[in-house]
């Protein structure tokens, strides 16, 4: 199985955000135990770093957190094709449209996100961490 993990789930884990940490971490851990390939889009990585640095107030700690994450996930490139695909979608949120395009091009089975409603109508089904744990 292959999943693309949305920014919110990664931040739940790295920042131990409650009440989301337990389900997000559990889903990520389950994916690792099941040898699921975990993808994170390249654009998400820059957002994650920015939000970690801002939240932690420390560039070194933010880099260390990101380096640990990158040992566990595969970065999915964002291509010009993904941007064009996202622009052609009727999704109101461009960032979500890019996530969907990257997930589709990489043949992900799911988009792991807390915001499943943002991906309604997606060709790649969105699944919440607590629902992923039930698979």
Alpha helices in the chain (DSSP H): 7-14, 21-33, 42-56, 59-70, 80-88, 94-105, 129-132
Rounded to two decimals, the pTM is 0.94
Rounded to the nearest 5°, which phi and psi values hold at 131? Answer: -80, -35
How many distinct structural domains can be found in the chain? 1
User: Which stretch of 46-50, 57-61, 89-93 has the lowest confidence by average pLDDT?
Assistant: 89-93
Query: pLDDT per residue over 49-73, tens digit each?
Result: 999 999 999 999 999 999 999 999 9
Q: Domain containing 31 — which CATH number?
A: 3.40.50.1010
Residue 43, pLDDT above cutoff 90: yes
Q: What is the pLDDT of residue 61?
A: 94
User: Which pair of structure tokens corresponds to residue 65?
Assistant: 């957190």
Domain that holds residue 129: 2-133
């Amino acid at each position: 199985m292959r999943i693309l993990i949305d920014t919110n789930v990664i931040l739940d884990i790295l920042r131990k955000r409650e009440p989301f940490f337990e389900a997000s971490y559990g889903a990520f851990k389950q994916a690792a135990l099941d040898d699921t390939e975990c993808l994170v889009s390249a654009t998400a990585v820059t957002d994650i770093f920015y939000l970690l640095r801002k939240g932690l107030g420390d560039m070194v700690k933010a880099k260390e957190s990101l380096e640990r994450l990158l040992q566990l996930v595969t970065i999915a490139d964002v291509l010009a094709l993904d941007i064009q695909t996202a622009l052609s979608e009727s999704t109101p949120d461009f960032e979500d449209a890019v996530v969907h395009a990257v997930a589709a091009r990489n043949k992900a089975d799911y988009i792991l996100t807390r915001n499943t409603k943002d991906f309604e109508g997606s060709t790649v089904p969105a699944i919440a961490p607590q629902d992923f744990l039930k698979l």
